[in-house]
Structure 1
Amino acid sequence: FIWSWSYSGAPLGPRSGHPTRGLVTRFLEQENQIVIVAVRDPTHATSRSLADLHKGNGSGLIVVKYDAAVEQDAFNLAKELQEKQKVDHLDIVIANAAIATSFRSVKDVKREEIQEHINVNTYSAVSLYQATRDLLQKSTNKPMLVLVGSLAGSLESQPSVPNASYGASKCLLNWYGVRINDEDKWLNTFVLGPGFTQTDMGNEGAREFGMQEAPVSVEDCVNGMYQVITTVTKEKHGGRMVQYTGEIQPW
């Protein structure tokens, strides 16, 4: 599968407890899994350290360049996978890239702040889907598109905190999750909520809201997301927002 690495540049090195690295590790430990990780700089030490992760029998890792803020990068990525890496299909694509740099109320938010968040948190997922759609369609193993969302984008269950940029971008992402799932009957597309997790970005947001740290541990996030991804069905979960706990959330 392909995982689009966090655009935020969080520390993802060997000692990092980031859920991205944890989930990549979980899949690589299984047998006969090819895990593709898309990062802004494949030559960076944190990217190169992925080569040291334990791999199950027949499993392998591919690291490719991808900047979620650049529309063409998604299409360059797909081209490289096919032409250089000889990848002929994808079973799972996880669109995870996101930023959260502004925590303002609607009365104070700047239009450029909203646009910046939508560009990375929403548009990049659309481009990644468009670029990898043909490879997903060639899968014979119930292909899946996972859009990593947030309760911040929920209309009914959003937290009562100022979040006019990030929250709005995730709300728009939800719309695309529903729409893609309906348009592509062969593809299980759903929004996965990782919870308010103790990453650098999560803890920074928590402090903005007067908390010491985010409430969800990285370990719980990784275990929950892995369980969801490996058990969901289009019939039950397609076009829905599914929390890392497996609970289906209202929009």
Structure 2
Amino acid sequence: MSSSSTVYLVTGTNRGIGLGLVKTLATRPNVVVFAGARNPTSASLVELSAAHSNVYPVKLTLADEADNAAAIAEIEKTVGRLDVIISSAGISSTNPTTGIAGIPLSEFTEMFQVNTVGIIALFQAAQKLLLASPTGAPVFAYISTGSASISNYLGGAFPTTAYNTSKLAANYIIRELHAQNPNLVSMAISPGWVATDMGNQPAAAAGLPEAPVSVQESVDGILSRIDGATREKSSNKFWNYKATFGGNAVGLPVGGDPVVELKAIMPPLWPDIRNPIVE
């Protein structure tokens, strides 16, 4: 590995956005990618690592302390450094209901254990290696969701309350990480409404053939936020993956952008909110 290489750890890489991130990063020069996944021997990761010598699948299950510790130990042993973590793994409700009164407490427990406690376990395991990054400005990027925005609450349009609240709690963790680690670039990113298994489920419920944002479009946007990220301009913020929607400049941290995007697709459900709001 070249001393100028950037070392990434991406979680949730068996499919969806996580796999898309690894595929794109693998094509870049001077990059090493560790693909964290519950099943690192899946066909998709085996094929990808065979085609790209800079891709290393590692077993990593969210909120599993032993898995996280073993994955970080393998990274340290293999390359001796870690510069960027993209926490993309997560779960959503499989049988969502529209009201809090009808959601089993077990669903909230599961969402928080994976989506919130999961990133805490990841950071705790990785902090020593990550914060020692020779770049001097390591990145911890959390893939959140626009529906976890308080400033742009979507009025219960998506029946995914347990998922949204677990993501919102994780956004708070991102701010705490910023406050507690003076050299860390800690950021949350909304990936858009992406055509993955998770994103297509609410799309079908809304009568759409699939979610409107392709995996590649989301990946490109996410990486545009991470590439060149600095403590001063990028950290302690909740960003949208995309800088413009329909010609409107909405490059500030997540504000009106997700609402504008969704309103254009399903006008009856969202108010006309166009001004980006720093959150």
Q: TM-score, normalised by structure 2?
A: 0.79
Q: Is the 8 A contact 2:11 2:18 kept in 1?
A: no
- SS of the counterpart of 1:165? helix
Q: Is the 8 A contact 2:64 2:121 kept in 1?
A: no
- SS of the counterpart of 2:101? coil
2:12 maps to which residue? 5
Match of 2:76 among 77, 82, 93: 82
- Give the C-alpha shift of residue 120 in structure 1: 0.8
One-letter amino acid of the structure 2 residue matched with residue 151 of structure 1? G
Does structure 1 residue 145 correspond to structure 2 residue 152? no
Match of 2:104 among 100, 110, 119: 110
1:32 maps to which residue? 30
Q: Is the 8 A contact 2:63 2:121 kept in 1?
A: no
Superposition pairs of residues 1-251 of structure 1, within 5 angstroms: 1-6=8-13, 12=15, 18-54=16-52, 60-83=54-77, 85=78, 87-101=79-93, 102-104=95-97, 105-141=99-135, 142-160=137-155, 161=157, 162-246=159-243, 247=251, 248-249=253-254, 250-251=278-279
Cα separation, 1, equivalents of 2:50 and 2:20: 13
Greater Cα offset, 204-213 or 160-169: 204-213
Q: Deviations over 1:45-85 (max 9, x none)?
A: 22211124456xxxx111111111523311121123224x2
One-letter amino acid of the structure 2 residue matched with residue 139 of structure 1? S
1:15 maps to which residue? none
Greater Cα offset, 69-78 or 114-123: 69-78
Larger RCO, structure (CA 8 Å, separation 6 or more): 1
Cα separation, 2, equivalents of 1:120 and 1:208: 24
Cα separation, 2, equivalents of 1:207 and 1:103: 13
- Name stretches of at least 5 consecutive residues in structure 2 with no aligned partner: 1-7, 244-250, 255-277
Q: Is the 8 A contact 1:28 1:54 kept in 2?
A: yes
- Give the C-alpha shift of residue 31 in structure 1: 1.5
Q: Is the 8 A contact 1:89 1:136 kept in 2?
A: yes
Q: Is the 8 A contact 1:103 1:208 kept in 2?
A: no
Cα separation, 2, equivalents of 1:223 and 1:44: 24
- SS of the counterpart of 1:123? helix
- Give the C-alpha shift of residue 143 in structure 1: 0.6
Q: Is the 8 A contact 1:5 1:39 kept in 2?
A: yes
Q: Is the 8 A contact 2:12 2:19 kept in 1?
A: no
Q: Is the 8 A contact 2:18 2:89 kept in 1?
A: no
Q: Is the 8 A contact 2:75 2:81 kept in 1?
A: no
Greater Cα offset, 142-151 or 218-227: 218-227
- Give the C-alpha shift of residue 95 in structure 1: 0.9
- SS of the counterpart of 2:100? coil
The percent identity for this pair of structures is: 27
Q: Is the 8 A contact 1:143 1:188 kept in 2?
A: yes
Cα separation, 2, equivalents of 1:99 and 1:145: 19
- SS of the counterpart of 1:214? coil
